Structure 1
Amino acid sequence: MIKKLLLALFALTLGLATAQAADAKADETTSAKVTAVSGSTAKFEISGDVAAWIKKGAFVRAVTDKGTLVLRGAKVTAIDGKTVTVQSAMAKELKVGDGFKLSKGKPTAGC
């Protein structure tokens, strides 16, 4: 009886943790469009509200609608309203007008 109770409690806890993680992951992405590219610097225009995690010094990654990673380990160098400036060696491969989904990146991702 106790085994069944513990198993049910474990399953409930695991289910709640998974649901919260999925909600948090959805909040961590934002849509953006490239407005300018200059060498290793790119500017993105955020559609909608700027996410709370997008701050100067934060790292971001950009993914296409098909899921292709095009920018990783890019460091946010400036934020001006809905325009976010990032710096990354991969920025030179971006094209003005392309749309991407930005999400949290890792500082070691660009190494």
Structure 2
Amino acid sequence: MFLCFLYPKASILRRKREEEIKDEDLLEMPENVENPFRCPVRLYEFYLSKCSNSVKQRSDLFYLQPKASCHPSSPMWYSPQPLDSTMMESMLIRILAIRDIHLDSKHQQKYPDSSDEESS
């Protein structure tokens, strides 16, 4: 099992209007059978299971707004509304900041004296 993505090139999108998409235009992400909790296919299937049926049939929506209140056992976690670009940007900035802090922390643990050298 795998996920299949259309390679996002303008030339492919133009050609799509003229003819069918060719197999070489598609990217495949294979299933991680060794660790299902880190499997992109299983995670995507789970994500879809928490979306409304109206959204599952659309190929133009991917990142949806979370519902204001839901529990892990709720059947739907996401509204049919897409995330706007400012929310996406805010989330990505936060994720990257946390990653930088985490990487810096790992570096400090591995090389405890390096911060003294950098500050002088």
More contact order relative to length (CA 8 Å, sep ≥ 6):
1
TM range (shorter): under 0.3
- Bigger CA radius of gyration: 2
Higher strand share: 1
Q: What is the TM-score normalised by the length of structure 2?
A: 0.22
Q: What is the TM-score normalised by the length of structure 1?
A: 0.23
